[in-house]
Amino acid sequence: GDSVTQMEGPVTLSEEAFLTINCTYTATGYPSLFWYVQYPGEGLQLLLKATKADDKGSNKGFEATYRKETTSFHLEKGSVQVSDSAVYFCALKANQAGTALIFGKGTTLSVSS
């Protein structure tokens, strides 16, 4: 079945460092891809999404490009801030109405000043 694999954490960075969190997927068909973020004590929030190959999702300085040829959707940010410390989840969703999200395990990011 469909699945998502993302890099193990925790990822520990200094402020202003470059961030990459790897995510690869296995799916039949052409799913939509998502990054969700969970700040301490809060629920999952959509960070960005891409719905077809070569789409780039972006938000709050984060970017991810839907790469069909490598089945990847890596999350990047050029300069992280302490406030970016959170757990990041890669997810996919089949393109059918009402279908569920399939999540990766989550990657904890800790940014220090």
By CB under 8 A, name the binding residues for another protein.
Answer: 32, 36, 41-46, 49, 51, 89, 91, 93-106
Nearer to another protein by Cβ, of 18 and 39: the residue is 39
Shortest separation between residue 99's beta carbon and another protein, angstroms: 7
Burial of 9 (0-12, 13-18, 19+ CB in 10 A): middle
Shortest separation between residue 13's beta carbon and another protein, angstroms: 22
Rounded Cα distance between 113 and 108, Å, is: 17
Nearer to another protein by Cβ, of 19 and 106: the residue is 106
Whole-number Cα distances in Å, 70 to 23, 41, 63 = 10, 34, 17
Shortest separation between residue 68's beta carbon and another protein, angstroms: 17
Shortest separation between residue 46's beta carbon and another protein, angstroms: 5
Burial of 59 (0-12, 13-18, 19+ CB in 10 A): middle
